[in-house]
Amino acid sequence: MLFCAFALVAWILFRFAAPTQTYEETRAQNRRDKAAAIAQEAADKLYGPPRWIDQGKGTVQLPIDTAMDLVVNDYQTKPLQASAVKVEAPYPAGLQAAAAAPAATTGSTAVASPSPEEKK
């Protein structure tokens, strides 16, 4: 009978005096919660519905998949054309002929600048 009473007291003590979280475990749990909240916020921005950032300026936040599809479609529908940037002499005088040779083999329509010997 004494043994049963001791067992009951021991069970009550162990049951209700269970170890609580330590300070470090609490801090670790808080860090995990904050990291999960940040990851959820990032996922909402990347994959959430489109929304206005600034309607006056026309700035919209798009899901990343939609934005990538729009960029791919834009590049596929854009016609190929020569750049409007004019470059006079991008290479030193002795390297102009060598630099023009690889451009001719790739099939581009770029015209090489005349070498100093050709200008004379």
For the segment 70-86, what is each residue's pLDDT rounded down to a tens digit? 999 999 998 888 878 87
Asked if residues 111 and 99 have their Cβ atoms less than 8 Å apart, the reply is no
Count of domains observed in the chain: 1
What is the Cα–Cα distance from 22 to 102, expressed in whole angstroms?
68
In a domain, 2, yes or no: no
In the predicted model, is pLDDT for residue 109 greater than 70? Answer: no
- Each residue's pLDDT tens digit, 55-68: 999 999 888 889 99
Structure tokens at 89: 């002499």
**In a domain? residue 65:** yes
pLDDT tens sequence across 2-31: 888 888 888 888 777 766 778 899 999 999
Domain that holds residue 72: 21-76
With respect to residue 103, please indicate whether it lies within any of the assigned structural domains.
no
Q: Pick from 47, 71, 50: which is nearest to 61 by CA?
A: 50
Q: Is residue 4 part of a domain?
A: no
Tens of pLDDT along 46-57? 888 998 999 999
Q: What type of residue is 29?
A: Q
Amino acid code (one letter) for 26: T
